[in-house]
Chains A and B, each alone.
Chain A
């Protein structure tokens, strides 16, 4: 692969370079968001006002992406420890005085705006670890790895304590991905995996009863068909009844007749599967893979360790998002609150995701073009 676009006049390439936007990634994200709106329209039973709200959020998220793409990588690199430290302090603040909503302490309410500090940390943690590893020779020495483990472990535990299982999982996997891309030995990787497995009982003790119920329910969804198991059973019926090509847009009875709970948030994939069938699902997978592939390509052509690790881990985290959400909807993973990226209704995680892509674009378009 080369960075020059085929059949593209140099002028156009320079233009993209000047506005610091990667046209491939932008196209992929636009197509995905459009597809998301189409599915959302069906999932909400044709509720236009929700679609408008989602459009506004998308606009905001794309704005954040374009804005971040303008920032020079050097600034990102320099600021990462401070951003990370600030994020951890915010997390602690939320734990101490976060107002308790939805049985979980996640929000910090500043009167005008409510936000989840755990969202920022999804980006700040990999930035911190990437910078830390870039400052040391690769592959990292045990001491460097141990410290990186601290940078990852602290926010993960704080988020798990909130408790926000989905986010904790995403932050952990982002950190893990960075270490992996930094080239730590397979043996150490195995050791880390074992360590994580050993930490499971600790995390289990941090969980709220409703999260334990979810995990236990995943092992046996039929035990509570009126309450929590209902989601899983109805989602399966929706997906299975889709067949090869689905019942057609807006024709899915499960979603339209409100058999499927929360069809427009975490379980929206079931609506796609019912309306557009296996082929629709595969289409979505290919779109996701294209975006992830472009991200990995950006990592490949990056010219410094920090950019490399950031691009690779952000792309990989995006995949984890998609895999965990779809996995829980189709019943091979426990139900944790992870949205389907750029498709589920909801704003906070979308902005974070797009911010990540903005950083990738910044890193990619500020390269000094050295012919490879």
Chain B
């Protein structure tokens, strides 16, 4: 028991005693230090602090920054701030908040949603800050409140800057909208940076570029009297407004695409294949983003959510469609690349295709067949049998390997959130997802863009751009540059990649020549749109089955309910020899790609190429 036996007790005791006394002295000394600091604060500077605390309390009021504007490539405003009258309450100055709100509801129309939003913001902001209860008062409402104002202490009408989207549903998905900050966002953001700010970007560019658009909050130290009346500003730090964001979009092209889709739902994507700048990004139907700024009512929101047309759904980034025949140029490239076919190989098309030893007939859209076709014939006339055969000879592994190089099955990397991957099927995927082996028949229909294969309109446009570039890869993006007031603009382009697919130049040309003949050749499936064209366009039509036509059944568009009718697809780029624009169009349930989707692309490309200023890149 070493504990209870001391070694050299006398020496140890002496040593311990001195240390103990030193420690006690140290404790007393530091306590005296605390006391002297308290004396300094509470006695010497007492009056100053008492003044601050009681008679003239100092409020530190945030000065929220103004949000940056959003422009299209030609300087059209897509998102602006407009001044509206808003009914605001300073919670600290109101004795009975619930009673006050109830009295206000008697003279103005205030929804439960607005009350809930007010309470949510009240929890986050300081009691002396003015919090909006109802945004956007009409002149009548302003007048109605003005009469009763003396009876409402702590309630007032203020002018507030509120986000406004002049083009409404035309750019609703890509520009997105701001809405009031919710609980989940509160956990993420820096509370000091959002003091005094009520709205935050929710979707689209507004969300993706939130930190750029928001700016930095300033503050003012304000002396107030005991009743909260502001007396004077002691000092202030001005806020730094958010940057204006200039997009690569062209609102005119958005309008053309939107109008071109007519009564159909669908998606249109146009981009510059050289730079990856998105020129048009249309998802139809859209919605009015302004409704979200003021707090959309639950009823209206439910209506948007449950509408069969799915207006809130961004088809360009998230819509997954079978690509149909638009996949054929890429399958053709794969065939040339792996030496499975060449430009001269001919195949006889009897109107159907059969796997050896299998009864099932894979039909061509042309019942009596195309006769003897080579690769370019097969692309020009969109012969299914040729591609059934080519896909079978390639095999799913090589199809998967080649198409993934073109960006199918993965996100394009656009500077917006919420992109979907689409689906590029493979043996591994099927085993993993469905626990089934891969069947040869599934390879066959992949060759004509049916079966498991799913692409987003954006992926399709990107692949078209890579084709137009002879293999040079691009990353699509919508932001061109950002500009803080009185500062030099900052380009927000992603680094243009110098990566390219390693493929024989002649293969690209073979496929592109066939695509030119789709438009300009007498037998091309989109020949109708070539009238009056003064430049070369390359394209490919597609028709994607939404449901399967049973064996020995015919497909009569008229008899089929519209929701089950085929999607019409079209991809194109122009001018074919030095492409400046690449397009993908999907018109839902519109029937045939050549007649329904191709004209939209033609209008878009015409308008774009006729603008003189577009030979230049967008620059400040």
Give chain A's interface residues, CB within 8 Å of chain B.
73-74, 77, 134-135, 137-139, 177, 180-181, 183, 224-228, 230, 233, 236-244, 253-254, 257-259, 273-274, 277-278, 281-282, 285, 288-289, 292-293, 296, 299-300, 303-308, 312, 316, 319, 323, 326-327, 330-332
Contacts and interface: CB of A to CB of B under 8 A. Distances in A.
Contact of A237 (B12, B33, B35, B53): B53
B555 interface: no
In the complex, the 6 A-B pairs of residues with the closest C-beta atoms, listed nearest first? A240-B49, A227-B192, A241-B53, A183-B15, A240-B41, A226-B192
B616 interface: no
A303 B4 contact: yes
A183 B43 contact: no
27 contacts: A134-B2, A137-B7, A137-B8, A138-B12, A181-B23, A226-B60, A226-B192, A227-B191, A236-B49, A239-B38, A254-B53, A259-B53, A278-B35, A278-B38, A278-B39, A296-B20, A296-B24, A299-B20, A300-B17, A308-B16, A312-B20, A312-B23, A323-B31, A330-B34, A330-B37, A331-B37, A332-B34
B528 to A, nearest CB: 61
A52 B43 CA distance: 35
Interface of B: 1-8, 12, 15-17, 19-20, 23-24, 27-28, 30-31, 33-35, 37-39, 41-43, 45-46, 48-50, 52-54, 57-58, 60, 62, 92, 127, 190-192, 195, 217, 219, 221
A236 to B, nearest CB: 6
A281 B27 CA distance: 16
Question: Which of A74, A236, A241, A273 has the most chain B CB within a 10 Å cutoff?
Answer: A241
Contact of A304 (B4, B8, B23, B49): B4
Contacts of B46: 240-244
* Interface SS, A side: helix
Contacts of A259: 53, 57
B3 A134 contact: yes
B53 A300 contact: no
Contacts of A316: 23, 27
Nearest to B217: A226
A240 B50 contact: yes
* Interface SS, B side: helix
Nearest to A224: B192
Given A225-B60, A226-B192, A181 B49 contact: no
Contacts of B2: 134-135
B217 A330 contact: no
Contacts of B52: 237, 240-241
Nearest to A327: B34
Given A239-B38, A259-B57, 10 more contacts: A181-B19, A183-B12, A240-B49, A240-B50, A240-B53, A281-B42, A285-B34, A304-B3, A316-B23, A330-B38
Nearest to B44: A240
Contacts of A293: 24
Contacts of A238: 53
Contacts of B57: 253, 257, 259
Contacts of A308: 16
B172 to A, nearest CB: 34
Nearest to B22: A180
Contacts of A331: 37
A349 B4 CA distance: 31
A233 B53 CA distance: 11
A77 B1 CA distance: 10
B542 to A, nearest CB: 49
A332 B37 contact: yes
Nearest to A138: B12
B3 A73 contact: yes
A289 B38 contact: no
Nearest to A230: B60
Contacts of A244: 42-43, 46
